[in-house]
Chains A and B, each alone.
Chain A
């Protein structure tokens, strides 16, 4: 399968700071990026979907001003958690794909806000 690289794999930050997570498609052009969040012992919840060059579409209940998504190129999407708080601590996972093909997961980022 295609390779999707997500960085960092883990990050610890202080409450009130912002954290940026990168998701790169290494061997294909990802027209669509999905961002998921997973709390311990729970399933993956879709946060937002972004298409290259367009604004992201956020799922109900996800604050677009807090979770900034940029998908400016076909190989890179970023998720920035702004003014992070302990309740934002979670496992964030990207999934990259193209139209009419399967999408692939990144390795995930464990965010801990202290």
Chain B
């Protein structure tokens, strides 16, 4: 599997603040990029996908992709306690396999 690296965390932010998550990947040919949220004991749920350079916003979430730097990030604005989870960065290629990062655990303090 391709290498996907995430800042290890844990990341603790106060409620209402911005949580910033980073991810780098090794395969320059990667085409699709995903952020999943995983609560303890549950399977991952997709929160953002991004395919082209730039920013993509969806509600309180913004994904940023820079293919030249092989870097993808996720910003969570106005963080809520319900955002406390592990966030997994995943990278896809032509055969629809996903390579996952180790995840960053986020804790939002009320």
A residues bordering B, Cβ < 8 Å? 1, 6, 32, 34, 42-46, 49, 59, 91, 93, 95, 97, 99, 102-103, 105-108, 110
- Count of chain B residues near A, Cβ 8 A: 18
Check B103 against A46 for contact (C-beta < 8 Å): no
The interface residues of chain A lying within 8 Å CB-to-CB of B33 are none
CB-CB under 8 A from A59, the residues of chain B are 1
A-B contact pairs, 25 of them (CB 8 A): A1-B46, A6-B43, A32-B96, A34-B96, A34-B98, A43-B88, A43-B100, A43-B101, A43-B102, A44-B44, A44-B88, A44-B100, A45-B1, A45-B100, A46-B98, A49-B95, A49-B97, A93-B43, A93-B44, A95-B98, A97-B96, A99-B96, A103-B96, A107-B43, A108-B42
How near does chain A come to B26, taking the closest CB pair, in angstroms? 15
A3 to chain B, nearest CB (A): 13
A46 touches B1 (CB 8 A): yes
- On chain A, the residues within 8 Å of B103 by CB distance are 43
| A residues less than 8 Å from B29 (CB atoms) | none
- Given A42-B102, A43-B102, A43-B103, the answer on whether A34 and B42 have CB atoms closer than 8 Å is no
Give the residue name and chain of the A residue nearest to B45 (CB). A105
12 further A-B pairs in the complex, CB-CB below 8 A; given A46-B98, A108-B41: A44-B88, A44-B100, A46-B1, A49-B95, A59-B1, A91-B41, A102-B49, A103-B98, A105-B44, A106-B43, A107-B43, A110-B41
Interface centre among B42, B44, B96 (most CB of A within 10 A): B96
Contacts of B49 in A (CB 8 A): 102
Say how far A26's CB is from chain B's closest CB, in angstroms.
Answer: 15
Complex: A102 Cα to B43 Cα, angstroms: 16
Q: B40: shortest Cβ distance to chain A, in Å?
A: 10
